[in-house]
Homo-oligomer: A and B are copies of this chain.
Amino acid sequence: MSGNTFGRIFRITTWGESHGRAVGVVVDGCPAGLALSKEDIQKELDRRKPGQSRASTARKEEDSVEILSGLFQDRTTGTPISMLVWNRDADSSAYDKIQDTPRPGHADYTYQMKYGIRDHRGGGRASARETVGRVAAGAVARKLLAQSGIRIAAYVTELGGIKAKLPSLDLMSLASQAESNAVRCPDQAAAVRMLERLDAIRREGDSLGGMVEIVAEGVPAGLGEPVFDKLDADLAKALMSIGAVKAVEIGAGIQCASLRGSEMNDPLIWQDGKVAFESNRSGGILGGISTGEPIVCRIAVKPTPSIARRQRTVDMAAGGAAEIEITGRHDPAIPPRIVPVAEAMVALVLADHMLRQRGAMV
């Protein structure tokens, strides 16, 4: 049973391979009547495009979205929204050469073991290009969430061991600071050092990992479903499903292991005639349900596996050890480019749970 569908009520199915004809997504379950334009989608796709900076590859992708169904007079109709982006003709010859020598850190070997066959060109289905569908669908989810005053932003907080110091800003200013540099880090000084580090590592033919924080503001209390579809559980799945993510934290995250209960518990306070929390170490989620405070997630992103160094691998056709040298241009770090993808995944989870919540009470 395949897993190309995500969400229960707001539900997306992505399809497409890196060097196939196109990549795309079908969004099912978006409520009717939502104002939506091609620009809403394209804007987010443009943010995920490579080729914009030193942090990303020089490849150029057009990625102009086509919306094939589900809209009428610039509004959603409740029927499936099918979107696609054509792939440009790609030269697969570099991939043909390494067809039998799985790239370390990639999914080449595991796809082969799973299916007995694989489209090896450009990484096939396991390519980062698959995220086009996620980002396009996420743009629809964001539009829906915006109607309820929910905003989502992500930014790089660590790269190659350089940690950012987050300025005291509201979320949207933080995001705008992050978007202003090529590593998407809201701490401009740290961003400069990160870029220098990236230049150095590229020259060494190596790559770097990092951390990304994703925050959602304006989420009302009450979203999330006991006991398996907890909001944090669904966020963890959504974020871990992005290639290269190796850890997901909510709120205090891993740090909670060394806190005491009296430090970890967020006191409830009475503010302006309603309930609030004095702190937000829970990351906006208690018992799997949103508290009304900002939802805070962090992901650890592994260094780009495609590095310009000779690596040891095996020859699956001939049997025996082999070496591989990966050519072509590859991002020396994934975190800056993962930002819009992570935002999209959080948006999809929240849109889904917002609709699920409609069934909570008589």
Q: What would 25 A/B residue contacts be, using CB atoms closer than 8 Å? A: A2-B78, A3-B226, A4-B28, A4-B225, A4-B226, A13-B13, A15-B26, A24-B82, A32-B361, A75-B117, A104-B265, A110-B290, A114-B224, A115-B360, A161-B258, A208-B260, A210-B257, A233-B237, A233-B238, A247-B253, A252-B302, A254-B300, A263-B303, A268-B314, A278-B312
Q: Could you say how many copies of this chain the assembly holds?
A: 4
The reply to whether A275 and B125 form a contact with Cβ atoms under 8 Å apart is no
Distance from A152 Cβ to chain B, minimum over Cβ atoms (Å)? 18
Determine whether A119 belongs to the interface, using a CB cutoff of 8 Å to chain B: yes
The reply to whether B15 and A314 form a contact with Cβ atoms under 8 Å apart is no
When C-beta atoms are compared, the residue in chain B nearest to A266 turns out to be B104
The reply to whether B313 and A124 form a contact with Cβ atoms under 8 Å apart is no
User: Which of B15, B105, B275, B362 is within 8 Å of A31, CB to CB?
Assistant: B362
Chain-B contact segment, one of A50-58, A178-186, A188-196, A351-359: A351-359
User: Which residues of A, 285-300, contact B by the 8 Å Cβ criterion?
Assistant: 285-292, 300
When C-beta atoms are compared, the residue in chain B nearest to A105 turns out to be B265
The reply to whether A119 and B72 form a contact with Cβ atoms under 8 Å apart is yes
The reply to whether A118 and B230 form a contact with Cβ atoms under 8 Å apart is no
Determine whether A340 belongs to the interface, using a CB cutoff of 8 Å to chain B: no
Determine whether A102 belongs to the interface, using a CB cutoff of 8 Å to chain B: yes
Residues of chain B contacted by A259 (CB below 8 angstroms): 209, 302-303
Residues of chain B contacted by A285 (CB below 8 angstroms): 110
When C-beta atoms are compared, the residue in chain B nearest to A233 turns out to be B241
Task: Give the size of the chain A interface in residues (CB under 8 angstroms).
Answer: 157
Contact A247-B247, Cβ < 8 Å, known A4-B79, A262-B309: yes
Distance from A130 Cβ to chain B, minimum over Cβ atoms (Å)? 6
The reply to whether B226 and A126 form a contact with Cβ atoms under 8 Å apart is yes
**Complex Cα gap A160–B311 (Å):** 40
**Complex Cα gap A119–B68 (Å):** 13
Determine whether A249 belongs to the interface, using a CB cutoff of 8 Å to chain B: yes
Q: Which of A125, A269, A321 has the most CB of B within 10 A?
A: A125
When C-beta atoms are compared, the residue in chain B nearest to A239 turns out to be B236
Instruction: Mark interface residues in A104-133 (1 if CB within 8 Å of B CB, else 0).
Output: 111101110111111100001110001000
Given contacts A77-B119, A78-B114, A270-B320, 12 further A-B contacts (CB under 8 A): A2-B359, A13-B13, A14-B228, A20-B68, A107-B226, A111-B289, A130-B227, A241-B288, A247-B256, A255-B300, A256-B303, A262-B307
The reply to whether A303 and B224 form a contact with Cβ atoms under 8 Å apart is no
Instruction: Mark interface residues in A304-328 (1 if CB within 8 Å of B CB, else 0).
Output: 1111010111101001110000000
Distance from A73 Cβ to chain B, minimum over Cβ atoms (Å)? 8
